[in-house]
């Protein structure tokens, strides 16, 4: 799929880009080069190839799921204006 000058001008208008007259030809060539690369990639036969999540098939190193801090809820809620059963009470804002 190749773009011509009018296509690039329409795209620039839709994208609200102000292309100078001198830049239209260069932009047309650049977009056609990009679309040519996309056409080449789409032409590659990928039958039987599974998609990869990561090209190196590595595993994520995870830290141990351990509690590292004490529960300080009581200390945090001691300064709250209103608390009930471990929950903060706030004024109703939607009726």
30: containing domain: 5-42
The residue written with tokens 């839709």 in the block is 14
Do the beta carbons of residue 3 and residue 25 sit within 8 Å?
Answer: no
The pLDDT, as a whole number, for residue 30 is: 95
The verdict on residue 30 lying in a domain is: yes
pLDDT tens digits, one per residue of 71-80: 999 999 999 9
The verdict on residue 20 lying in a domain is: yes
As a whole-number percent, the residues of the chain with pLDDT over 90 amount to 72
The verdict on residue 64 lying in a domain is: no
The verdict on residue 66 lying in a domain is: no
The pLDDT, as a whole number, for residue 89 is: 95
Alpha-carbon gap, residue 40 to 1, rounded angstroms:
11
Overall number of domains in the chain: 1
CATH code of the domain in which 31 resides: 1.10.20.60
The verdict on residue 53 lying in a domain is: no
The pLDDT, as a whole number, for residue 57 is: 74
Q: What's the predicted TM-score (pTM) here?
A: 0.51
The verdict on residue 74 lying in a domain is: no
pLDDT tens digits, one per residue of 10-65: 999 999 999 898 899 999 999 999 999 999 999 999 999 888 777 777 777 898 99
């Amino acid at each position: 799929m190749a773009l011509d000058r009018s296509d690039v001008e329409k795209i620039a208008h839709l994208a609200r880009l102000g292309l100078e007259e001198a830049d239209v030809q260069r932009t047309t060539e650049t977009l056609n080069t990009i679309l040519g690369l996309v056409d080449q990639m789409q032409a590659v036969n990928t039958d039987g190839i599974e998609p990869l999540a990561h090209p190196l098939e590595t595993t994520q190193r995870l830290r141990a799921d351990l509690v590292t801090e004490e529960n300080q809820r009581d200390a945090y809620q001691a300064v709250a204006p209103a608390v009930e059963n471990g929950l903060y009470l706030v004024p109703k804002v939607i009726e």
